[in-house]
Amino acid sequence: MNDPLYEPLIYELGAPGRTGVTMPTAPFPATPLPAGLLRDELNLPEVSEADVVRHYTRLSRQNFGVDTTMYPLGSCTMKYNPRLNEAMAHLPGFLEPHPLQDAATVQGSLEMLFNLQTWLSELNGFTATSLQPAAGAQGEFTGILMVRAYHRSRGDTARDTILLPDSAHGTNPATSSMAGFRVVELPTDGRGNVEMDALKANLGPHVAAMMITIPNTLGLFEEQILEVARLVHECGGLMYADGANMNALMGIVKLAELGFDVMHYNLHKTFSTPHGGGGPGAGPVAAGEALAPFLPGPIVALDETTSPPSYVYAMPAQSIGRLKAFHGNFGILVRAYAYLRAHGPAELRAVSENAVLNANYLRVKIGQAYEIPYDRICMHEFVAEGKLDEEGIRALDISKRLIDYGFHPPSNYFPLGTPHTTLKVHEALMVEPTETESLQTLDRYAEAMIAIRQEAREEPELLRGAPHNAPVGRVDEVYAAKKLVLCRAIPEIA
Ligand SMILES: *Cc1c(COP(=O)(O)O)cnc(C)c1O
């Protein structure tokens, strides 16, 4: 503490009785908390408002975020989150109602939910949408439970298998086995599509559904999707689309028209809700005629028998039930609604066109210095090889060095090329720039990547020791994950 350069933690500041707030006197008598709920020994600092503001502002500056830097974390769609969404989500009419309030008293909120359901159905040509699931993975789980309920309702209980390409997002196999299915992984061909012979060899009356991440985790569009859907349907299976990465497809293609029966969205990705750090999110599920009756509820319906028509909660006829308390993560739904209204159909299409353009621009530029294992027109993201054998450099070294250049790293080691999979990428650098980055920023990013490739040849130690100018250097990631320490030791306050 005698070191003048030492920045004290908030736990080391403060003085007894110092405070940042003045609580009003309660207009009712104090009620003591039930015994046992209060801890006697709780060393909380007593600090001023300024100390608190500085504490959190300093912490925020030690991290990367979409508001400070380009954040091309593949598959995560870390686009800019318009402040308009925040303003809308904070309107008192949206913020203050209680979820148990009578539907008649929250007609505006229900109208918003109803419109959002309608637009999300329309965007991919589906019949109905449920806004309940709280994240992409929960949306997948919902969709696969609906698949199971559909087959059971027809007395078809032999279908115990979900087919998955090995280019699927990791949540897809996890979802399938959590829902009680057997997972059969299909290999990928040299162009990054599912291998058709392997698909044909695995079809039959045991197939409940095929689950496809589209675009897949190589950032590629499945070129034979119409034929894949035809074959799966022919054997009585259903088609599930992992639509978490809609940022490539909005207004360009409708998944229902490609043959999909059910899909989920990630509103916190494509529809610009701040995410990362674990939530909250929203993973609505949209379904066609066959699966719509199985959607989780309640959903919002329009009752036209009343005058004027009113919005009501309704349970789909053969609903799998509830997936989430109340009405999903309502604040996220408001943000997505605001995003959709602010853009409108033509601009949504432009969002996807620009996301694809930006990714392809970077693919070609970065491809001058790095191997691109599947070098064809990509969708919203692409994968570069991060394992440089000659220099003994790994994807992690490149990513950590990018931090020194002021950029958030791309996704690493995902998708995974292992002897287990057929993917011809060893250590993926999965880059997703999104549409909200300018040409100048894309150029700066590409130049940093190219400079790092040069450093790998001339000064590889620079990469292995990176990051050099971050508040925290290279950590042992396995140790960090197993022995999580969320703050420095809290010293006793004298
Ligand atoms: C992000 C993502 C998911 C999982 O979504 P969560 O909201 O993190 O649960 C699933 N599939 C794909 C393709 C994704 O990109």
Residue 492 pLDDT greater than 70, yes or no:
no
What is the pLDDT, as a whole number, of residue 494? 41
Most informative mutation of 242, 264, 379, 414 for ligand 1 (most atoms within 8 A of CB): 242
Ligand 1 contacts CB of residue 329 (under 6 A)? no
Same domain, 311 and 394: no
Calpha distance 48→13 (Å, rounded): 9
Residue 109 and residue 208 in one domain: yes
CA of 22 to the centre of ligand 1 (A): 43
C-alpha 35 – ligand 1 centre gap (Å): 43
Count the neighbouring beta carbons within 10 Å of the beta carbon of residue 67. Answer: 10
Atom 8 of ligand 1, residue of closest alpha carbon: 136
- For residues 220 and 421, the model is more confident at 220
Beta strands in 403-469 (DSSP E): 411-416, 427-431
Q: Rounded to an integer, what distance in angstroms lies between the CA atom of residue 261 and that of residue 126?
A: 8
**Bridge partner list, 312:** 301
One domain for residues 251 and 381: no
**pLDDT computed for residue 26 by the predictor:** 87
Whether 306 and 401 map to the same domain: the answer is no
Supply the pLDDT for residue 16.
Answer: 87
CATH of the domain at 161: 3.40.640.10
pLDDT, tens digit (0-9, with 9 covering 90-100), for 445-468 = 999 999 999 999 999 999 999 999
Lowest mean pLDDT among 8-12, 203-207, 266-270: 8-12
Domain membership flag for residue 392: yes
The predicted model gives 116-133 an average pLDDT of 98
68 CA distance to ligand 1 middle (Å): 23
Task: Give the separation between CA 80 and CA 374, rounded to whole angstroms.
Answer: 28
How do residues 365-387 score in pLDDT, each as one tens digit? 999 999 999 999 999 999 999 99
Question: Would you say residue 418 has pLDDT above 80?
Answer: no
* Together in a domain, 324 and 407: no
Does ligand 1 have an atom closer than 6 angstroms to the CB of 166?
no
Q: Is 343 in the pocket of ligand 1 (CB under 6 A)?
A: no
Question: Using CA positions, which residue lies closest to atom 4 of ligand 1?
Answer: 136
Residue 137 Cβ contacting ligand 1 at under 6 Å: yes
Domain boundary among 307, 341, 375: 341
Q: Between 133 and 14, whose confidence is greater? A: 133
Judgement on whether residues 237 and 328 belong to the same structural domain of the protein: yes
The answer as to whether 10 is a domain residue is no
| Confidence at residue 199, expressed as pLDDT on a 0 to 100 scale | 98
Is residue 380 in contact with ligand 1, taking CB distance under 6 Å? no
Which pLDDT score, from 0 to 100, does residue 490 have? Answer: 52
Ligand 1, atom 6: closest residue by C-alpha: 136
**What is the pLDDT confidence band of residue 318, given thresholds at 50, 70 and 90?**
very high
**Structural domain span for residue 201:** 85-341
Residue 26 lies in a domain: no
Is the same domain home to 299 and 418?
no
CB-hemisphere CA count at 13 Å for 374?
Answer: 30
Per the omega criterion (within 30 degrees of 0), is the bond before 419 cis? no
The pLDDT of residue 493: 47
Which one is predicted more confidently, 60 or 446? 446
pLDDT tens for residues 63-89? 888 999 999 999 999 999 999 999 999
With 80 as the cut, is the pLDDT of residue 401 above it? yes
Domain end call among 341, 372, 405: 341
Q: What is the pLDDT of the chain when averaged over all its residues?
A: 93
Mean local confidence (pLDDT), 406-415: 89
User: Residue 430: inside a domain, yes or no?
Assistant: yes
- What is the model's pTM? 0.91
For the Cβ of 171 lying below 6 angstroms from any atom of ligand 1, the answer is yes
Same structural domain for residues 253 and 290?
Answer: yes
Report the nearest atom of ligand 1 relative to the CA of 135. 7
pLDDT at position 420 is 65
Q: Are residues 364 and 308 in the same domain?
A: no
pLDDT above 50: residue 308: yes
Residue 11 has pLDDT above 90, yes or no: no
Name the pLDDT band for 489 (thresholds 50, 70, 90): low
Distance between CA 360 and CA 219 in Å, rounded? 10
Look at the block and give the residue holding tokens 């379904």: 287
Nearest to 369 by CA among 480, 485, 452: 452
147 CB contacts (<8 Å, ≥6 apart)? 208, 209, 238, 240, 261, 262, 291
Residue 216 lies in a domain: yes
Q: What is the identity of the amino acid at 352?
A: S
Q: Is residue 292 part of a domain?
A: yes
- Asked if residue 52 is part of any domain, the answer here is no
Q: Is the CB of 213 under 6 A from ligand 1?
A: yes
∠ CA 272-278-279, nearest 5°, is 45
**Per-residue burial over 431-442, b = 16 or more CB atoms within 10 Å of its CB, e = otherwise:** bbbbbbbeeebb
Domain closes at, from 314, 341, 368: 341
The residue whose CA has the least distance to atom 12 of ligand 1 is 244
Domain count along the chain:
2
Distance CA 183, CA 301 (A): 36
DSSP string, 378-414: -SS-EEEE--BTTTTB-HHHHHHHHHHTT----EEEE
Percent of the chain with pLDDT over 90: 77
Same domain, residue pair 176 and 313: yes
Q: What's the 398 CA to ligand 1 centre distance in angstroms?
A: 24
The pLDDT value given to residue 223: 97
Nearest to 261 by CA among 193, 312, 210: 210
